[in-house]
């Protein structure tokens, strides 16, 4: 039987960003340097395949520092941690390595700088997300007010409406965030914004590629984890940009083939914490079922690289 024809559009950039790449490398280098087990507070990045692979090599994933023995190294995840966490680790004389993405650390520094200048912070982010928890935890309770939507802005009760600054989670929808920022500026004209926007280059680039791809395809698959903020945003961006069917899949086994019946083109992208091997697995699943023509949608080139902490680069 001949296979039905299908055009497969691959978004570029897609998959791993520099912050995720660095965080995974930190765990791998820590295992090489100190041996197993190495403890990791929270998932190092939001991807089950990556976490399971590191667990197989001797990484132990825990929720809190209390779950770590004092004589083994502990690594903080790429999403960042509240200030109290490294302070507690230092008080317990623990060996710890911070794998917080440098672009998240930039937001932490920004929040501290505004706070020192006497401004109360408004954070645009998702309640309960590790990055939001970590960023809000850089300042004392009450110093950071959280908004998720433009509607939330109406209920904000700041100390002084003329002494505010805003920051954002790095993995938000660019368009949704612009709406919230517009609402903040309309209600609080004196509010101070970041020098350079907080949504990271990788999130922005992946969303732009999806916007370019969405009108060309009948369906779109986003390879990523259900707890990955930037992956879920790609599904939303694809739908909003005109793609009739967008689905988040962790593995090729999650693809709903019945939903794709009769289509002529599919777009594939991946969240910033999804490894290329999972993207290749999805492509292979299509090659087995269809007579595939491959095409690329390239909207940006990425060559960002972040150094790992000095403690891991030192010998011994």
The DSSP annotation for 123-192 comes to: EES-TT-HHHHHHHTTS-TTSEEEE-STGGGGG---S-TTSEEEEE-TTS-HHHHHHHHHHHHHH-TTPB
Q: To the nearest whole percent, how much of the chain has pLDDT over 70?
A: 99
CATH class, 103-187 region: alpha beta
Phi, psi of 95 (to 5 degrees): -85, 115
Domain ranges of the chain: 5-16+201-298, 18-101, 103-187
**What average pLDDT does the segment 243-250 reach?**
97
Residues 299/12, Cβ–Cβ less than 8 Å? yes
Residues 45/65, Cβ–Cβ less than 8 Å? no
| Residue the block writes with tokens 């970041």 | 194
Per-residue confidence (pLDDT) for residue 1, from 0 to 100: 74
Per-residue confidence (pLDDT) for residue 167, from 0 to 100: 98
| DSSP letter, residue 291 | E
Per-residue confidence (pLDDT) for residue 316, from 0 to 100: 60
Reported as a single tens digit per residue, the pLDDT across 292-313 is 999 999 999 999 999 999 999 8
pLDDT at position 141 over 80: yes
Topology (CATH) of 18-101:
Rossmann fold (3.40.50)
Query: CATH for 5-16+201-298, among 3.30.930.10, 3.40.1010.20, 2.60.120.10, 3.30.420.40?
Result: 3.40.1010.20
Q: Which of 88, 110, 131, 288 is catalytic?
A: 131
**What average pLDDT does the segment 16-42 reach?**
97
Q: 184 exposed, middle or buried (CB, 10 Å; 0-12, 13-18, 19+)?
A: buried
Mean pLDDT of the chain: 97
Reported as a single tens digit per residue, the pLDDT across 254-303 is 999 999 999 999 999 999 999 999 999 999 999 999 999 999 999 999 99
Does residue 131 carry a catalytic annotation? yes
Which two three-digit tokens encode residue 96? 């710890």
What are 167's strand-pairing partners? 123
Phi, psi of 199 (to 5 degrees): -60, 125
Q: To the nearest whole percent, how much of the chain has pLDDT over 90?
A: 97
Reported as a single tens digit per residue, the pLDDT across 189-227 is 999 999 888 999 999 999 999 999 999 999 999 999 999
**What average pLDDT does the segment 105-114 reach?**
97
Asked if the peptide bond before residue 13 counts as cis, ω within 30 degrees of 0, the response is yes
> Same topology for domains 5-16+201-298 and 18-101, yes or no?
no
Per-residue confidence (pLDDT) for residue 156, from 0 to 100: 97
Confidence bin at 314 (pLDDT 50/70/90): confident
| DSSP letter, residue 194 | P
Per-residue confidence (pLDDT) for residue 195, from 0 to 100: 81
pLDDT at position 133 over 80: yes
């Amino acid at each position: 039987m001949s296979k039905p024809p299908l055009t497969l559009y691959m978004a570029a950039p897609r998959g791993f960003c520099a912050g995720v790449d660095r965080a995974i490398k930190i765990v791998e280098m820590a295992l090489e340097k100190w041996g197993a087990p190495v403890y990791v507070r929270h998932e190092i990045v939001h991807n089950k395949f990556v976490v399971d692979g590191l667990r197989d090599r001797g990484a132990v994933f825990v929720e809190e520092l209390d779950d770590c023995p004092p004589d083994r190294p502990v690594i903080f995840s790429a999403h960042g941690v509240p200030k109290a966490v490294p302070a507690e680790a230092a008080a317990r004389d623990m060996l710890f390595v911070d794998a917080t993405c440098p672009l998240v650390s930039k937001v932490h520094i920004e929040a501290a700088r505004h706070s020192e200048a006497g401004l109360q912070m408004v954070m645009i982010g998702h309640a309960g997300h590790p990055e939001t928890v970590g960023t809000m935890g850089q300042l004392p309770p009450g110093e950071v007010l959280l908004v998720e939507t433009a509607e939330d802005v109406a209920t904000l009760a700041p100390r002084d409406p003329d002494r505010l600054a805003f920051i954002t989670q790095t993995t938000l929808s660019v368009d949704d965030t612009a709406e919230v920022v517009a609402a903040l500026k309309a209600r609080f004209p004196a509010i101070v914004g970041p020098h350079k926007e907080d949504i990271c280059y990788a999130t922005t680039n992946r969303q732009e590629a999806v916007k370019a791809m969405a009108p060309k395809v009948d369906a779109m698959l986003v390879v990523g984890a259900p707890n990955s903020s930037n992956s879920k945003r790609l599904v939303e961006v694809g739908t909003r940009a005109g793609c009739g069917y967008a689905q988040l899949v962790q593995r090729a086994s999650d693809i709903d083939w019945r939903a794709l019946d009769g289509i002529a083109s599919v777009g594939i992208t991946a969240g910033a914490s999804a490894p290329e091997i999972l993207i290749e697995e999805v492509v292979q699943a299509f090659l087995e079922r269809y007579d595939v023509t491959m095409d690329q949608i390239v909207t940006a080139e990425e060559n960002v690289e972040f150094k790992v902490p000095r403690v891991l680069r030192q010998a011994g």
